[in-house]
């Protein structure tokens, strides 16, 4: 029996070195392969900041324009609302004006020497004129119809009278006055028109 140690085989470490070298080489190749596409991908995916800035500026300009248009539209709608409210109120007042005109006409047709009645009629005329002045300042304007040709956009014909000396559809009398509010017709005039006899 011998006391000498057994010889160690040299083949085993060689196999281990070869495997480690192959692993390092393989990893190095994989790393190179990963770096190339990443560089190419970075070039492809790099955003064009100038284009983005231009697009954002365009969006901002459009948003500001939309806001300005919205503000103008709301202001116009508010003005129209005020005019519409005035229109309803004034349309409701028109029959009262008609009654005042009829009362003044009736008072003038009644002869009287009584100073109190004359003062009452003058006071009533003053109130009527003041009312008309205020309503005119608000945009109300009476329509002048007598002597004009019938316009269906402005007048409602109630009847026709045979009148050989007048052109057909000439307005000869006004039964109810028409009115404008800020150049918009709020009540058609009710009129009597002429026609040539047959």
| Chain segment 114-163, per-residue pLDDT in tens | 888 888 889 999 999 999 999 999 889 999 999 999 999 999 999 999 88
Mean pLDDT confidence for 26-45:
60
Q: Does residue 16 surpass a pLDDT of 60?
A: no
First-to-last C-alpha distance (Å) of the chain:
162
Domains of the chain in start order, with CATH, are 142-198 (2.30.22.10)
pLDDT at 76: 92
Q: Which residues of 124-144 are buried (b: 16+ CB within 10 A; e: fewer)?
A: eeeeeeeeeeebeeebbebbe
pLDDT at 19: 63
- For the purposes of burial, counting CB atoms within 10 Å of the CB of 38, is it exposed (0-12), middle (13-18) or buried (19 or more)? exposed
Please report which confidence band the pLDDT of residue 14 belongs to, taking 50, 70 and 90 as the band edges: very low
Q: Does residue 20 surpass a pLDDT of 90?
A: no
The model's pTM: 0.58
pLDDT at 84: 74
191 CB-near residues (< 8 Å, 6+ apart): 145, 146, 150, 155, 156, 157, 158, 171, 173, 174, 175
Alpha helix positions (H), the chain = 11-45, 49-109, 115-137
Q: Are 127 and 96 in contact (CB under 8 A)?
A: no
What dihedral do alpha carbons 117, 122, 128, 132 form, nearest 10°?
A: 170
Predicted confidence (pLDDT) per residue in 59-110, tens digit: 999 999 999 999 999 999 998 887 777 888 889 999 999 999 999 888 888 8
| DSSP-assigned letter for residue 179 | E
Q: Does residue 28 surpass a pLDDT of 50?
A: yes
pLDDT at 12: 46
Please report which confidence band the pLDDT of residue 38 belongs to, taking 50, 70 and 90 as the band edges: low
């Amino acid at each position: 029996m011998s006391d000498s140690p057994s010889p160690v085989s040299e083949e085993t470490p060689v196999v281990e070195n070869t495997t480690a070298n192959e692993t390092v080489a393989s990893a190095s190749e994989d790393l190179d392969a990963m770096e190339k596409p990443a560089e190419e991908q970075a070039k492809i995916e790099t955003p064009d900041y100038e284009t983005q800035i231009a697009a954002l500026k365009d969006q901002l300009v459009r948003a500001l324009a939309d806001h300005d248009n919205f503000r103008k539209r709301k202001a116009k709608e508010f003005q129209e609302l005020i005019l519409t409210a005035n229109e309803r109120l004034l349309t409701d007042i028109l029959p009262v004006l008609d009654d005042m005109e009829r009362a003044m006409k009736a008072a003038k047709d009644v002869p009287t020497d009584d100073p109190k009645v004359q003062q009452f009629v003058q006071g009533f005329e003053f109130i009527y004129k003041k009312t008309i002045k205020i309503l005119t300042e608000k945009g109300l304007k009476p329509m002048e119809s007598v002597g004009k040709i019938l316009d269906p956009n402005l007048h409602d014909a109630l009847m026709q009278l045979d009148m050989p000396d007048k052109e057909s559809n000439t307005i000869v009398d006004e039964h109810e006055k028409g009115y404008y509010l800020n150049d918009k017709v709020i009540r058609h005039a009710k009129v009597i028109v002429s026609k040539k006899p047959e």
